[in-house]
C-alpha cells in the first residue's frame, strides 16, 4: 500500500492537503464544520488513489453506504440519529467478497486525521498468533486500544497445545467488556450476515455484538471490485 501523509491545519479543519492539492470538505464557521458530501466523495476518491493505486474508484452504487459511513466518521450526530446510527457504537461492515469493505475501513479515517484511529488487524493473523502463543493473544486484545478486526469469519478455529478455541468469539466477548467499562470501540468487516455470525460464534457473542455495533452493509448483489 502506498503511503500518503495528510496535512491538517487546526485553524482550517475543513481543508485537507495532499501533496500539492488542497481539498475543501465543506465550510468552517470558527466552531464547527458544515460538511459537503460531494466534496467528501471527491476527497475520498483522490485519497483512495494515493493509498491504493490509480485503479481505485468510488462506485455510484456505494454512495448511500458511503454517506452513512462518512457521517459516522465525521461524527455528524444529528444526521446519524436520522440514519439510526449510534455514534457511540462501533461499525460492523458486512458485504460480499471483494465489495470493498476493507478498503473503505482503511480509507475513511483519513477524513478526520486529527482524531486517533484504530489498529487494523486481519482476524486470520490473530488466530495464527493464538496458535503460537496461546491464550495470551486473547488477553492482549483486552487493552485500551481501538481495533478494526478485518474479515471476521474467514479465520480457522484456533488450536494451542491440542486445545481448540473460537479465538475471535472469545476476543469479542473481551472487547464487549472493554466497550462497556471504558467506551473504547471495536469495528469489524465481515462477509457473514447476522444469522451466520450467530451460527459461527454463538448467541452469547451475537447478543453482545448487538450492543457494540452499528450494522451497515453493502447490497448483497454488489459485484467483486477486485477483478
> Tens of pLDDT along 171-193?
999 999 999 999 999 999 999 99
Average pLDDT over the chain, rounded to whole?
94
Percent of the chain with pLDDT over 70: 98
The model's pLDDT over 70-119, given as tens digits with 9 standing for 90+, comes to 999 999 999 999 999 999 999 999 999 999 999 999 999 999 999 999 99
3-state secondary structure labels for all residues of 159-208: EECCEEECHHHHHHHHHHHHHHHHCCCEEEEECCCHHHHHHHHCHHHHHH
The model's pLDDT over 34-83, given as tens digits with 9 standing for 90+, comes to 999 999 999 999 999 999 999 999 999 999 999 999 999 999 999 999 99
CB atoms within 10 A of CB 191: 16
| Per-residue pLDDT at 1 | 44
Q: What are phi and psi of 6, to 5 degrees?
A: -90, 130
Query: What would the DSSP string read from start to end of the chain?
Result: ----PEEE-TTSTTEEEETTEEEE-EEE-SS-EEE-HHHHHHHHHHHHHHHH-TT----GGGHHHHHHHHHHHTT-HHHHHHTT--TTSEEEEE-STTSSHHHHHHHGGGG-TTS---EEEEHHHHHHHHHHHTTHHHHHTTSS--EEEEEETSSPPEEETTEEE-HHHHHHHHHHHHHHHH---EEEEES--HHHHHHHH-HHHHHHHHHHEEEEE--TTPPPTT-
Domains of the chain listed by start with CATH number: 88-217 (3.40.50.300)
The model's pLDDT over 125-152, given as tens digits with 9 standing for 90+, comes to 999 999 999 999 999 999 999 999 999 9
| Radius of gyration of the CA atoms of the chain, in A | 18
* Burial of 31 from C-beta contacts in 10 A (0-12 / 13-18 / 19+): exposed
Amino acid at each position: 500500500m502506498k503511503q500518503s501523509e495528510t496535512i491538517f491545519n487546526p485553524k482550517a479543519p475543513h481543508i485537507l492537503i495532499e501533496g500539492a492539492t488542497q481539498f475543501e470538505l465543506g465550510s468552517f464557521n470558527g466552531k464547527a464544520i458544515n460538511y459537503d458530501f460531494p466534496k467528501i466523495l471527491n476527497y475520498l476518491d483522490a485519497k483512495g488513489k494515493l493509498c491504493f493505486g490509480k485503479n481505485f474508484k468510488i462506485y455510484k452504487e456505494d454512495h448511500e453506504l458511503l454517506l452513512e459511513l462518512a457521517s459516522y466518521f465525521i461524527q455528524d450526530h444529528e444526521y446519524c440519529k436520522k440514519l439510526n446510527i449510534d455514534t457511540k457504537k462501533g461499525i460492523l461492515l458486512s458485504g460480499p467478497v471483494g465489495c470493498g469493505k476493507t478498503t473503505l475501513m482503511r480509507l475513511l479515517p483519513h477524513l478526520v486525521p486529527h482524531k486517533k484511529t484504530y489498529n487494523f488487524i486481519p482476524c486470520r493473523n490473530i488466530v495464527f498468533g493464538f496458535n503460537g502463543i496461546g491464550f495470551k493473544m486473547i488477553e492482549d486484545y483486552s487493552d485500551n486500544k481501538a481495533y478494526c478486526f478485518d474479515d471476521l469469519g474467514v479465520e480457522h478455529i484456533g488450536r494451542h497445545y491440542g486445545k481448540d478455541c473460537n479465538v475471535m468469539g472469545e476476543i469479542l466477548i473481551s472487547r464487549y467488556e472493554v466497550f462497556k467499562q471504558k467506551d473504547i470501540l471495536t469495528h469489524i468487516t465481515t462477509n457473514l450476515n447476522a444469522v451466520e455470525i450467530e451460527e459461527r460464534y454463538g448467541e452469547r457473542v451475537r447478543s453482545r455484538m448487538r450492543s457494540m455495533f452499528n450494522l451497515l452493509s453493502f447490497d448483497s448483489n454488489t459485484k467483486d471490485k477486485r477483478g
